[in-house]
């Protein structure tokens, strides 16, 4: 949690304990970041932020509704921002889940909890019997005698616990997954079980296309409604995606250029982000080292190596003897062999700084991992499994290892 530092106050102000304008703005940015990055703000665990949001509730609520179409749920226990991506990506899922069945069992567990009240207890054996029966009625099958099905159920339950939707009173789902005939778990519902799923503007049965699920409200066909829908999509993409370049915006290109200056200023005011316009598009940077957002570069060694690779590619592109050609849209197509050769060169120069795992890794495997990392962060994508297409944002990075001296 960022601690707010307040300058010297008058005795009257100290008695009133009123925040000054700068502190109010900083609190607002902390609240906006917390709402964007957390499932919800728990009053019991995060009372300070809960009351900060409550103090500025109408301003924050109106901003999210105006620019994103997101609504805020607030009650005596928590505050939640109903976030919905304009475009869904694989990395937006639960990182703990490994199979589609994990998501199915997580969802059916929420179905089971719909009829439970806060504090009500239930047994895992009862849960899995009811879920299996309901899934069979829906034309799906799950076999609790199958160890891998039980592992999926255990992962779903652990996620429910991590989100504080249920609490385990006695027992562990891991033991049930190993020997389900001899173990049971007693769970208790919390106040969150009815709020984990977002509300939809229409009945779910009325949706005929998956793309319709991304809408946060019904939009009309007049010019004001069309403009509002376009604005919502623009802000939702910049808020939830690591990079949104010109070629990734599927709407009118002139709209992106028209809104760029105000968008950068608006996001700096509300979130404290710094934005810059480049030929390839707008890039936003998180300036607060204590931010709750996951940012690039990450704390993992893979990010360091990815930045090294980007810098090496930039040097290769500027070398006329190599003959790399950047396309007009800023794309640079690289073969796997070119990426591997760059990594071999980097290993020879900087291998002593690499982790043991990366030193021993085959160059082809390492290239695959780094390119997947860059893809996840929006710097490029694979094309036909032959070329890695690096976009213009990748060319903005150039780093190198250096030594620092510390005074005694």
CA 61/CA 258 separation, integer angstroms: 25
Q: What is the CA radius of gyration of the chain?
A: 25
CATH architecture for the domain at 301-396: Orthogonal Bundle (1.10)
- The residues with which 187 forms a beta bridge, in sequence order, are 122, 168
Strand order in the sheet with 78-81: 41-42, 78-81, 72-74
**CA-to-CA dists, residue 346 to 297, 350, 358, 386, angstroms:** 18, 6, 12, 22
Give yes or no for residue 393 having a pLDDT over 70. Answer: yes
| pLDDT confidence of residue 287 | 83
Q: How far apart are CA 158 and CA 366, in angstroms?
A: 32
Return the pLDDT at 289: 67
The contacts of residue 240 (CB under 8 Å, 6+ apart) are: 83, 85, 86, 92
pLDDT score recorded for residue 10: 42
Judge whether 85 and 68 are in contact, CB under 8 Å: no
The model carries a pTM of 0.84
pLDDT digits (tens, 9 = 90+) for 176-227: 999 988 899 999 999 888 888 888 888 878 888 888 888 888 888 899 999 9
Report long-range pairs for 215-223 (Cβ below 8 Å, ≥24 apart). Answer: 215/84, 216/68, 216/69, 216/70, 216/71, 216/82, 216/84, 217/69
* Span 331-338, average pLDDT: 91
Instruction: Tell me the domain boundaries of the chain.
Output: 11-81, 91-189, 222-285, 301-396
Local confidence band at 405 (pLDDT 50, 70, 90 cut-offs): very low
pLDDT tens for 109-151 read 999 998 899 999 999 999 999 999 999 998 888 999 999 999 9
């Amino acid at each position: 949690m960022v601690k707010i530092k307040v300058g010297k106050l008058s005795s009257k102000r100290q008695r009133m304990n009123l925040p000054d304008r700068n502190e109010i703005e900083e609190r607002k940015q902390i609240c906006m970041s917390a709402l964007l990055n957390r499932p919800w703000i728990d009053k019991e665990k995060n009372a300070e932020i809960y009351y900060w949001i409550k103090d500025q509730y109408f301003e924050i609520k109106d901003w999210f509704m105006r620019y994103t179409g997101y609504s805020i749920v607030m009650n005596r226990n928590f505050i939640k921002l109903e976030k919905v991506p304009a475009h869904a990506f694989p990395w937006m899922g639960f990182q703990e889940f490994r199979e589609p069945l994990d998501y199915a069992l997580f969802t059916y567990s929420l179905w089971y909890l719909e009829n439970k009240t806060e504090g009500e207890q239930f047994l895992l054996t009862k849960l899995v019997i009811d879920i299996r029966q309901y899934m069979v009625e829906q034309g799906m099958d799950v076999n609790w005698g199958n160890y891998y099905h039980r592992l999926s159920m255990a992962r779903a339950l652990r996620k429910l616990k991590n989100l504080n939707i249920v609490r385990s009173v006695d027992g562990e789902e891991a033991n049930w997954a190993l020997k389900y005939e001899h173990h049971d778990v007693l769970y208790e519902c919390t106040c969150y079980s009815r709020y984990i799923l977002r509300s939809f503007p229409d009945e779910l049965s009325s949706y005929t296309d998956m793309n319709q699920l991304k809408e946060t409200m019904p939009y009309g066909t007049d010019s004001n409604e069309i403009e509002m829908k376009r604005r919502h999509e623009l802000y939702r993409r910049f808020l939830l995606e690591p990079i949104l370049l010109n070629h990734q915006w599927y709407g009118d290109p002139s709209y992106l250029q028209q809104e760029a200056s105000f968008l950068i200023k608006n996001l700096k005011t509300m979130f404290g982000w710094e934005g810059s316009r480049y030929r390839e598009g707008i890039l936003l940077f998180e300036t607060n080292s204590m931010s709750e957002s996951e940012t690039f570069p990450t704390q993992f060694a893979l990010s360091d190596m990815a930045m090294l690779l980007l810098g090496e590619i930039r040097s290769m592109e500027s070398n006329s003897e190599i003959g790399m050609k950047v396309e007009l849209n800023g794309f640079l197509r690289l073969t796997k062999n070119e990426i591997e050769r760059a990594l071999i060169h980097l290993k020879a120069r900087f291998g002593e700084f690499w982790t043991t795992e990366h030193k021993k890794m085959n160059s082809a495997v390492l290239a695959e991992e780094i390119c997947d990392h860059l893809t996840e962060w929006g710097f490029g994508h694979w094309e036909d499994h032959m070329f890695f297409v690096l976009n213009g944002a990748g060319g903005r990075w150039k780093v190198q290892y250096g030594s620092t001296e510390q005074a005694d």
